[in-house]
Amino acid sequence: MRAGRLLPVGLISAATLAYEVLLMRLFSIIQWHQFAYMIISIALLGFGASGTFVALARRPLVKRYPAAFAASAALFGITAVASFAGAERLPFNALEVVWNPGQLGWLAAIYVLLVLPFFFGATCIGLAFSRYPGQIGRVYAFDLVGAGVGALGIVGLLFLVFPSAALRFIAALGFAAAALAATGMARHRRLAAGSLGLAAAVIAVWLPPSFTATGPHMSQYKGLSMALDVPNAWVVEERSSPLGLLTVVESPSVPFRHVPGLSLANTQEPPTQLAVFSDGDSITAMTAYGGDPATVAYLDRTTAALPYRMLARPRTLVLGAGGGEQVLLALRTGADIVDAVEVNPQMIDLARNRFANFVGGIFSRPNVHLHLAEARAFAATAGERYDLIQMPLLDSFSAAAAGVQSMHENYTYTVEALRDYLAALKPDGVVAITRWLRVPPRDILKLFATAIAALEADGVSQPGRHLALIRSWNTATLLVAKSPFTGEDIAAIRGFAAENFFDVSWAPGISASDVNRFNQLDREYLYEGAVALLGPERADFTERYKFDIAPATDDRPYFFDLFRWRALPELLTLRTQGGAAMLDWGYLILVTTLVQAAILSAVLILLPLWLRRRALGRAGHRLRFGLYFLTLGLAFLFIEIAFIQRFVLFLGHPLYAVAVVLAGFLAFAGLGSAVAARWTEAVGRGSAVRGITLAVVVIAFLAGTYLLALPLIFERLLALPDAAKIAIALLLIAPLAVFMGMPFPLGLGHVGACSEQFIPWAWGINGCASVLSAILAALLAMHVGFTGVVTIATILYLVAPALLAGSWDRYDQQTSQGLSESEPFVS
């Protein structure tokens, strides 16, 4: 078989994976990242549905393979655009689900729409498996390599075009695959191929902008939507990249006054501001500055200004430059040198170039150095020592309050991260972290507990002497000092708080009579929590607390995961009195998605089994065949998802990790599939179980080695530029992925030799398992860490060969012969 016949498989696979990654970007803009994850997980059930469809209609579809493939690929191209255009216009709001069950209907409609592109894309691949049962290894190789190229290619494309334009290219790719497949048609091949090729070119170049635009359909609860509801507010500038959609907004009628943690005692009006929204929500402000420090004196009255009261002319590191507010504060208070770190190059261009005159050219000053880097990596590898490391508040209060960040891997607030920051300090240096204040407190206490664990890991016997915590009416700032606070430091903390009507929730030597004086709460929760976390009953307090405030670690970097099941009944009972706002919706949405996916997956797997149970052979064989492919699907995605989450730290951004790790695993697994095909040709199909056993043993060895080696490798190579880190990531992934690409085609070839009817069903099982494993891996990582997820995957891989061993090699020949006679395969 010529490789050209499988090129359409590679193209449609690339388009499907690119569409999956793009939907993550699009729905992160329209809703939030977690809701995008939920919708995409369910949409991927289209893979399972395609397996059912091909299993039930295999004979007529394979008989007309070129036409069926071309039609499915063209329908993918059509529905990729149409389904998203319809889904984003539905009035779905996930935050209303708890009090408005009608939202579930809109959610179901989104599922139905987004299943379609994945269904048609997966149908193409399932048809190829059925059409070429003797070349399964090569088909699978084209499938995986194409998927890898698509996953990485879409990230590169998003640096060049807006997401809505990228959607056109993906649709065009579907039509290009259809055109290539149509060349194999017996009749009208030239007309069909030419028409489909023309359609691909037209879609790539032209499509009505309103048909794919995403801006007008953003959730009304996002900050950008609410800001643009103000009369005369308008978008000044918009930039897009894989790291986020940045929207600069001016509001002359109702000016922005974004100064988190500003004291109620402040009397100075801030200058004009431009608000910069990231994906329509997280906000930073660019403040008009003419060079006179007196015009920004109000910044002295924010909780983030506390360390400058204690440090004279500090060398300052700002982790998260944003629009420059913390740089202005540092300059205002006389900082000697300011190193500002920003991960998004588009944000840097806006602040340093496009709006340089507006912000007074602060990023071009000789004592201000702006660095394009990830915050954690820069702090760990800078080589400098700082008096102050300032971590400003850049995420939105609405996202924090809704709990939509709970599933984000965040390596900024882990025990290991705080140890890196402390190591970058001078002996009398301080780390200052500002967070939103929520009552009852959650992430602030978790941050306090994480700081205690970091100090103790560095050998500090009395961590309470190194910590100070103050709060305003809406923010809290935690100071973590490398050396114990002195009496002068404590006096400065108390004086600063009293002047600005801030409350000291913890400082060395503080007592219950000193707290809750200005911004009064029913109880001083933060002080009580700090005392408990610093006392001998820390473990008991952490366990009994209604929210999960155990320290975050690099193995479980879910700082915003605060959910506890035992608190759910109480919060649901109080939902009409504000209890719904205390729920961490990200976790609940993930669990709900798992339940939905499990039900739908069971239907998609069991339906063809029941309808074609005679054709698929004995019940025992069906069960073990099914379990084998289910196990492989779970294990493959467990390792893939765990590596994506682990490589977020190394590569610096979740989307980079998704693209690079997906591309690496899929492309090199495709190479492994080609190796498996050669193995089968050289040794024979009867050796499939031996080949699978060899592959899983190597997988187990490499997975165990990586668990031990990756943290050390990342620690030493974090300072490398992005291109070098991407290359290293691919090299690390390659050997493991090659062997992970072997068990599926070897197993599929083995069962296909027994019953070709089973091939599309096995493909469907693998697709459903992929959906379940993506959700399960995230849930397991939140509970047992990445190490636990990889360990479970390794066990699943080691179990898999046993499902094909023994009696499988002595499959009932009479049943197999009967299948061949009753269901002849059309080649």
Q: Give the model confidence (pLDDT) of 85-109 as tens digits.
A: 888 888 877 666 656 667 767 777 8
In Å, what is the CA distance from 218 to each residue of 404, 464, 680? 16, 45, 51
Instruction: Give the mean pLDDT of 368-380.
Output: 88
Confidence category of residue 823, pLDDT binned at 50, 70, 90 = very low
Predicted pLDDT at 350: 94
Residue 253 has pLDDT above 80, yes or no: yes
Q: Is 595 exposed, middle or buried (0-12, 13-18, 19+ CB in 10 A)?
A: exposed
**Mean pLDDT to the nearest integer, 215-232:** 79
Alpha-carbon span 737 to 702, nearest angstrom: 10
| Residue with more model confidence, 683 or 665 | 665
At residue 825, the pLDDT reads 28
Whether the per-residue pLDDT at 698 is higher than 90: the answer is yes
Query: Would strands 316-319 and 386-391 be described as parallel, antiparallel, or unpaired?
Result: parallel
Element (H, E) at 287: strand 282-287
Q: Tell me the mean pLDDT in the region 768-779.
A: 80
pLDDT score, position 701: 94
Residue 718 in 3-state DSSP? coil
> Angle at the Cα of 377 (from 375 to 382), degrees rounded to 5?
95
CATH architecture for the domain at 3-215+586-611+619-805 = Up-down Bundle (1.20)
**pLDDT averaged over every residue in the chain:** 82
Q: Rg of the chain over CA atoms, in angstroms? A: 28
- Report whether 259 contacts 332 (CB < 8 A): no
| Sheet with 273-278, edge to edge strand ranges | 234-241, 244-250, 273-278, 282-287
Give pTM, 2 decimals: 0.84
Taking the C-alpha atoms of residue 327 and residue 348, their distance in angstroms, rounded to an integer, is 13
Q: Which residues pair with 430 in a beta bridge?
A: 388, 481
pLDDT for position 750: 76
Question: Rounded distance, CA 312 to CA 335, Å?
Answer: 8
In this structure, what are the phi and psi dihedrals at residue 358, rounded to the nearest 5 degrees? -60, -45
Instruction: Dump pLDDT digits (tens) for 487-500.
Output: 999 999 999 999 99
For residue 718, is pLDDT > 90?
no
Phi, psi of 706 (to 5 degrees): -65, -35
Q: Any idea where the domains of the chain sit in the sequence?
A: 3-215+586-611+619-805, 309-571
Residues whose CB is less than 8 angstroms from the CB of residue 441 and which lie 6 or more positions away in sequence, other chains included = 476, 525, 526, 529
Per the DSSP assignment, residues forming a β-bridge with 469 are 478, 506
Inter-helix orientation angle 103-131/65-89, to 10°: 160
One-letter amino acid identity for 130? S
Task: Provide φ and ψ at 361, rounded to 5°.
Answer: 60, 30
Residue 524 contacts residue 516 (beta carbons within 8 Å):
yes
Out of 26-30, 65-69, 265-269, 522-526, least confident range: 26-30
Q: Phi and psi (nearest 5°) for 241?
A: -155, 175
pLDDT at 585: 62
Range with the poorest average pLDDT among 390-404, 504-518, 778-792: 390-404
Q: Is the pLDDT of residue 229 over 50?
A: yes
- Binning pLDDT at 50, 70 and 90, where does residue 75 land? very high
CATH of region 309-571, choose from 3.40.50.2300, 3.30.565.10, 3.40.50.150, 1.10.3720.10: 3.40.50.150
Helix 654-683 crosses helix 619-651 at what angle (to 10 degrees)? 140
**pLDDT tens per residue, range 306-328:** 999 999 999 999 999 989 999 99
Share above pLDDT 90 across residues of the chain, in percent, rounded to a whole number: 36
| Residues 600, 607: Cα–Cα separation, whole Å | 10
Residues 352 and 319: beta-carbon distance below 8 Å = no
Would you say residue 457 has pLDDT above 90?
Answer: yes
Q: What's the pLDDT tens digit per position in 148-187?
A: 889 889 988 888 888 888 888 898 898 888 888 888 665 5
- Span 275-300, average pLDDT: 91
With cut-offs at 50, 70 and 90, classify the pLDDT of residue 207: low
What secondary structure does DSSP assign to 751-820, as a single string? Answer: HHHH-TTHHHHHHHHHHHHHHHHHHHHHHHHHHHHHHHHHHHHHHHHHHHHHHHSGGGGG--HHHHHHHH
- Residue 807 pLDDT: 41
Lowest-pLDDT range of 246-255, 263-272, 386-395: 386-395
- Residue 86: the pLDDT is 87
pLDDT confidence bin for 580, thresholds 50/70/90: low
pLDDT value at 567 more than 70 = no
Kindly tell me if the per-residue pLDDT of 651 is higher than 50. yes
Mean pLDDT of 557-563: 83
Across 313-422, the runs of DSSP E, i.e. the strands, are 316-319, 338-342, 368-372, 386-391
591, two tokens: 């669990």
Per-residue pLDDT at 314: 95
Task: Output 581 or 514, whichever has higher pLDDT.
Answer: 514
The closest of 541, 547, 317, 283 to 436, measured between CA atoms, is: 283
Q: Is the pLDDT reported for residue 827 higher than 50?
A: no
Q: How confident is the model at residue 469 (pLDDT cuts 50, 70, 90)?
A: very high
Flag whether pLDDT at 407 surpasses 60: no
Q: Predicted confidence band at 205 (pLDDT cuts at 50, 70, 90)? A: low
Confidence category of residue 601, pLDDT binned at 50, 70, 90: confident
118 or 778, which is more confident: 118
pLDDT at res. 235: 93
* Of residues 802 and 459, more confidently modeled: 459
